[in-house]
Structure 1
Amino acid sequence: MNTNQQHLFDAYRAAQRGELAPPQPGRHDWEALGEIRDHLRTGRPDARRRRKGWLRRLLSASWPTP
């Protein structure tokens, strides 16, 4: 059984139980690889999210809102 067949089986079982279907296989692979890379570089898996938040705070503080 490959991953797509397993996903269809799990989605069918979740529908029978009234639960949410699991995410599609491979949907979050790039995000997970980025977090692994950040963890290996900095020791913190959420380093990329912290950088994005820092940049967003910097830009919102320096640009006046209309």
Structure 2
Amino acid sequence: MDITQQYALDLYRSAQQGVPAPPAPGRHDWRVAAEVREYRRFQAVIAERAATGGPLTRLLHAVRHTLRRRHHPTTPHTSTGARSVRAGC
């Protein structure tokens, strides 16, 4: 059973029982991910470890850095040798 079928079954059950319908799948994914990240940081503090994050945190940092560079490109840098050759022409 995939997630859509499970959601349809949950909707049917909630309608039969007269209870509120469950939220649609994927609706709160970002909030849940943020809560999991915050929980892991809290657990690191409780265990007296540095709350620096693991490989996923490093990957997200690298992605943010790459996207930031693409949106705010710097001027291309040339080596000093290339400048002296152009200046001598």
Q: Structure 1 length normalisation: TM-score?
A: 0.55
Please give the residue correspondences for 1:1-66 in structure 2 after superposition, counting only pairs within 5 Å: 1-43=1-43
Residues 33-56 of structure 1: per-residue CA shift (max 9 Å, x gap) = 11121232344xxxxxxxxxxxxx
Please tell me the residue identity of whatever aligns with 2:15.
Answer: A
Ranges in structure 1 where 5+ consecutive residues have no aligned partner: 44-66
Amino acid at match of 1:40: R
Larger RCO: 1 or 2 (CA < 8 Å, sep 6+): 1
Q: Number of residues paired by the alignment?
A: 43
Q: Secondary structure at the match of 2:23?
A: coil
CA positional deviation for 1:14: 0.7
Give 2:58's aligned residue: none
Question: How far, CA to CA, are the matches of 1:15 and 1:42 in structure 2?
Answer: 38
Deviation at 1:29, TM superposition (A): 1.1
What is the CA-CA distance between 1:6 and the residue it aligns to?
Answer: 0.6
Give 5+ residue unaligned stretches, structure 2: 44-89
CA distance, structure 2, for counterparts of residue 5 and residue 13 of structure 1 = 12
Overall identity of the aligned pairs, in %: 49
Residue type of the alignment partner of 2:26: G
The letter for the 2-side match of 1:33 is A
